Amino acid sequence: MDKNRQVLTIIVLFLAVSAILSIIQISITVNKTPTSGSVSFPDTAPGVAIVQLYGPITTSGESAAFSNVKGSDAIVEHLDRLENDPKIKAIVIRINSPGGTVAATQEIFRKITEIRQKNIPVVASMSDLAASGGYYVASGCSYIFANQGTITGSIGVIISSPSLKGLFDKYGISMNIIKSGRYKDILSASREMTDDERELLQSVIDSTYKQFLKDVSLGRNLPIDEFREYADGRIFSGTQALEYKLVDEIGTYSDSIKKAKEMAKLDENSPVYKEPVSPFNQFLGSIEGRLSFMNGAIAPVTKSLVEYRYIQ
């Protein structure tokens, strides 16, 4: 067996040598690889933070369990953390939203203006859609980027409710309503709206609309008269919005990051801090997204809320 043992020892030595060679080869290529990758150590250098504002803006966000659509509460909380984080020198808000409820939109707007007051530049980067409440939020930022094809504008307020009186009459359905005041069942679907009610709602809409104009004027540092003519609910492409001074520049997401670094006087290579999303939630969120598409899911019939929202 001695000869066989020698042969096997040589084979094992050959395997060991190949393992060493492989480690050397990996070490050589490792040195050539930049350090960015799937696993990296946390960065602590001053940099730019990214905040995503996706989907309809509501206070608590969409009900989907793993959706990345967050409510205004979560966004304000996140902005709060960034505001108090010493390494965050600028913020980029990536917007892809048709707008949403009034209070939720205004809360995000106020938070952004607070951050700006602390001399932290906030740059808005509009994606496909930044209309109505989406634009409201963007108008609070220090600088706005839009793509040529971004749908924006839709400055206005809307409230809607279905009128099902005809349907109720057809099927002999009636509602028993006991109310404490004449306007308590305003927007009831079971009857036609009265002129008084219409007037009352119009006054609410007008007041909210005025606030919208005031905030856009404040955020953009633009007199209301300069854009009132276009603030009739119409939408604009990114290029048109630039013409009407509703955005500052046509540019991409990476342009907005560059601008944020420039405004914060940061180095070009300074880090970009994205919102941490666990891979598990990312995976489940993507499944959820696919399933909702398969089911032909549509936005739920909204309750009668006053909204800054662009309705497609």
Residues annotated as catalytic (active site), given as ranges: 132, 184
37 binds another protein (CB under 8 A): yes
H-helix segments, 172-296: 195-220, 224-227, 238-243, 253-263, 279-294
38 binds another protein (CB under 8 A): yes
9 binds another protein (CB under 8 A): yes
Residue 308's H or E segment, with its range, is strand 307-309
Q: How many other CB atoms are found less than 10 A from the CB of residue 63?
A: 9
Backbone angles phi, psi at 89, to 5 degrees: -105, -15
Binding-site member from 29, 117, 174, 221 for another protein (CB under 8 A): 29
Residue number with CB closer to another protein (38 or 44): 38
3-class DSSP state for residue 91?
strand
Contact region for another protein (CB under 8 A) — 35-43, 121-129, 132-140, 245-253? 35-43
Binding-site member from 30, 178, 298, 301 for another protein (CB under 8 A): 30
Residue 47's H or E segment, with its range, is strand 47-54
Q: How far apart are CA 179 and CA 161, in angstroms?
A: 19
CB of 73 to another protein, least distance (A): 22
3-class DSSP state for residue 127?
strand
* Both structure tokens of 285: 């969120």
Contact region for another protein (CB under 8 A) — 5-13, 168-176, 184-192, 270-278? 5-13
- N-to-C CA span, the chain: 84
119 binds another protein (CB under 8 A): no
* Both structure tokens of 126: 């509009």
Q: How far apart are CA 258 and CA 210, in angstroms?
A: 34
Contact region for another protein (CB under 8 A) — 23-31, 117-125, 246-254, 304-312? 23-31
Binding-site member from 54, 59, 64, 200 for another protein (CB under 8 A): 64
280 binds another protein (CB under 8 A): no
Binding-site member from 42, 44, 65, 229 for another protein (CB under 8 A): 65
Binding-site member from 178, 294, 298, 301 for another protein (CB under 8 A): 294
33 binds another protein (CB under 8 A): yes
Residue 9's H or E segment, with its range, is helix 2-32
* Both structure tokens of 207: 């007041």
45 binds another protein (CB under 8 A): no
Q: How far apart are CA 197 and CA 203, in angstroms?
A: 10
298 binds another protein (CB under 8 A): no
Contact region for another protein (CB under 8 A) — 30-38, 47-55, 173-181, 208-216? 30-38
Residue number with CB closer to another protein (33 or 221): 33
Look at phi and psi of residue 242 and say left if phi exceeds 0, alpha if psi is from -120 to 50, else beta.
alpha
Residue number with CB closer to another protein (18 or 148): 18
Binding-site member from 44, 221, 269, 295 for another protein (CB under 8 A): 295
Residue of 114, 162, 131 whose CA lies nearest to 238: 131
44 binds another protein (CB under 8 A): no
CA–chain centroid gap for 17, Å, is: 54
Binding-site member from 45, 177, 291, 299 for another protein (CB under 8 A): 291
**Contact footprint for another protein (CB under 8 A):** 1, 4-5, 7-9, 11-12, 14-15, 18-19, 21-23, 25-26, 29-33, 35-41, 64-65, 287-288, 291-292, 294-295, 297
